[in-house]
Each structure stands twice: as C-alpha cells, then as structure tokens.
Copies of this chain bind each other. A is one copy, B any other.
C-alpha cells in the first residue's frame, strides 16, 4: 500500500487535523473545528460506516487541544447521530439508516435515533415520555417540615453509617407493612434496603447472571432493566404480555428449554402496557417457577397506584415455595429525591444479595432511610396517596377523552402512569415522534421497549408528569399532527 503513488482522493484522506485546526477558528469554539473536521471526513467517505475514529488522546496530542475539547466534539457528533461510542474502545462512524435517508429528505427534520435515556434528556413542553409523577403532585412543603422533625428525633443522624442491609427500624416497619397490605409473612432479616429499584435490579443481575445465561423477560418490557441484563451478558428470551396476561404455555416451554436464571417481570400495572395480571395467572406462575426451579424477579412499583379496585396480591404472597424475589420501589410516588426501594427474598437467596450490596456501596445512606421511615408511616402521606390516585385517574381520563376521536386502540389501564397506544399501520411512529419533538411534545416509541417488530406500531403516553392543561393541549396537538400525516399520505 505505502509504495503506491498517491492519487488525488487518497491524498485528501491524509488531510491533517493539525492543518484544519491551525487554519480554523481556534479559541472559544474550538470543539466546533474538531466537530467539522470529523463530520466532513465522514460525509465525504474518508471514514466508512463502523470505522474506528481517532482516539480522544490521539487527537488531543496531534492538535495540542485539551482532551475535553475533543471529547465535547465527539459528544456532539454522537448526539447528532454521526458517531457512536463503544465502551473502552472509542468512537466509530454511525452508519446512516435507511429511515434517515428517506425520511430526513422527505420531512426536512431528523429522526430520533437514541435510547430511552437520550429521549428523556430532550427538554419539551408537553412531557409524555417520562413515567414520573410531577413534583407538583407530591406534598413537598409537608415533606420539608417532616424532615426537620426527623432531625429532632435523631440528632446524630448525619454522623452515622447505616448497616449494609439497611436500617433495622425501617426493615421492621416494612415487615409489618407488607403483612398488613400484601399478606406477606416476611421477616425484617429477609428485607434489603436499596437505592431505588435500579440498584435492586443491578444487584440481582450481579448475583445471578453470568455471560451466556438465559433470562426470561416480558415483551414489551422496562428498558432500563434489559440494559442491565444485557450488560452482564444475558441472553434475553421475550415472553408475551397482552390484555390476556401471560401465555403460560410459552413460559413453561421456555423454562423447560432454556433453564433460565430467572424471569424478570412487572405483573402489576406493567410498564409500558399498564396490564395487571390476574390472581389466577399469578398462582399458576409461582407453581411453574417451583416446578422448573426458575426464580421470579417481581418488580413492583405501582402496587399503590390503582384507580379503582386494589390489584391482586403480589406473586410473592402466593409463593409458598420461595422462588419469588420481590422488588418494591417507593421512589416514584413517595419521594424520587430519597430513592428508597427494597428487595424481599428468602434466606437461601438473601446472603448473596447482601454480599453484593456490601460491595456495591456498603449501604444506602441512613438519612434517606430515616426520613422515609417516618414520612411513609405518617397519616398525612397515606392521605396524600389517596389524593394522588384520584389526581392520576383524572389525568388518565383527560388523555382518554382527548384521544377518543382517533379510534386508536388501547386497553384503559386500571392503575400506573401510562397509556400503551397502538397506532394505525399506515402511521409511521418515527415520523410522528420527529414531528412531535419539533413541536415540543415527547412520547416513547414502542420499539424502545422491545427488540422485536411487534411493538413498533405502539407508543407509550405517560399521563403522570404533564399538568392537566398540558395534557389537553399537548394531546390535541399530537392528534392534529397525526391527522395531518394521515391526510397527506392519503392524498
């Protein structure tokens, strides 16, 4: 190769970034110089799809610029969909997708290419993508008063570490709470306090998943959990969930065939579909788990967020054989700023989880646990949850009303935060999202909950974050955009 005479195009490929930088507008916006340099070379094909790009270190050395400047340029290139990053390995050229090529030209606007986290970072006026409760629905002032009282109770609170398993007083409270509300017969020793449900999922993955292990998941499923399992090298086997609940024959077949490490599931007001699995299926599922020695990891966030009747008891309450590990999160509706969740597991599973928690962070901060304990058990909070249910139900009904003219299909949820809406086949979800984002409206396309085609015509609309007025206006606009797309396509 090196002996060949340089032809004109090859000469171009050897363009130096040093020249570019020296000739360019060095200074405050120097990252843009780097951005332009890399983008131009990708555009003209010097670097092909999936080619490894020069390292941050290398470019910093070549240009004498700070590494952070180069890094910033790569971050912008990534945000704009020109490059992608691979952990510890560097940056690569993002191949243009067919969708981008066709739609960008047609629409004159870029399609959203990122993951759930990327979508959540986009600031919009009409927020239907994040399944969070707006802080306006939480009793903030009351909470602030409460924290002050907790300090009076425990004057040395901030000078003390919590045990790795969690504060005993809190675990004993939860023991009684579960007995009273969920008919669990559980001991405080079987409860582990975690920093949010995300940490609970991460610890379980750390303990049970080895590369190549099979894990059953729901299809569609909560994306952040799947990221954790995949990062540990799990092979994910999707199990259908729909208005009929699970397909138990499919689950039995998968347990038999794959001997999975566990089935991660969210049976109560499932995210994203809002489905609530019947008591009958819950019983059958724990029987299957015992028969095939397959752990059930039950992620339960919405147990308290029901609109009419209480949901059936958690799987854990039906499980006499001890194959269920129960994750209960209180973050979303009690206090996102505290991040309190817990894992309930029988002794034979518990030791490994506790060891993993000790290594992970040595224990959730005591401040958060004590504040949660006293706040959660206060009469006022329990009254607040009553009000919250009503407020969420009203928001759901408003969204339902605004969508009524569309004829789009969805099961009205009996609890939770989301509507899982099937769009007509001729409506392009990526295009709808692109148009909505441009008008400051966000939702989550179904494809982000699923690697399969089956969810690609769905969207998740969250009704717990936007205000009532925002729901009215935002959904009206979304529907208008969809109608506009339909009338254009039928022309």
Interface residues of A (CB under 8 A from B): 55-57, 67-68, 70-72, 85, 87-88, 117, 132-136, 138, 140-141, 143-144, 147-148, 151-152, 155-162, 164, 187, 189-190, 194-196, 198-199, 202, 207-208, 224, 227-228, 231, 322, 331, 335-339, 346-348, 350-352, 355, 358-368, 371
Contacts and interface: CB of A to CB of B under 8 A. Distances in A.
A337 B141 contact: no
22 contacts: A57-B348, A67-B322, A68-B190, A87-B207, A87-B351, A133-B159, A134-B159, A135-B156, A140-B157, A140-B159, A141-B155, A144-B152, A161-B337, A195-B195, A202-B360, A224-B362, A231-B359, A336-B366, A337-B365, A337-B367, A338-B365, A367-B367
A368 B338 CA distance: 8
A437 to B, nearest CB: 20
B117 A143 contact: no
Q: Which of A71, A72, A138 has the most CB of B within 10 A?
A: A71
Given A56-B348, A368-B368, A199 B361 contact: yes
A336 B161 contact: yes
Contacts of A351: 85, 87
B359 A158 contact: no
A155 B337 CA distance: 11
A271 to B, nearest CB: 15
B337 A157 contact: yes
B135 A159 contact: yes
Contacts of A134: 159
Q: Chain A interface mostly helix, strand, loop or mixed?
A: helix
Contacts of A202: 359-361
The 8 A-B residue pairs with the shortest CB-CB distance, nearest first, are A135-B159, A71-B347, A144-B151, A158-B337, A199-B361, A198-B362, A138-B159, A135-B156
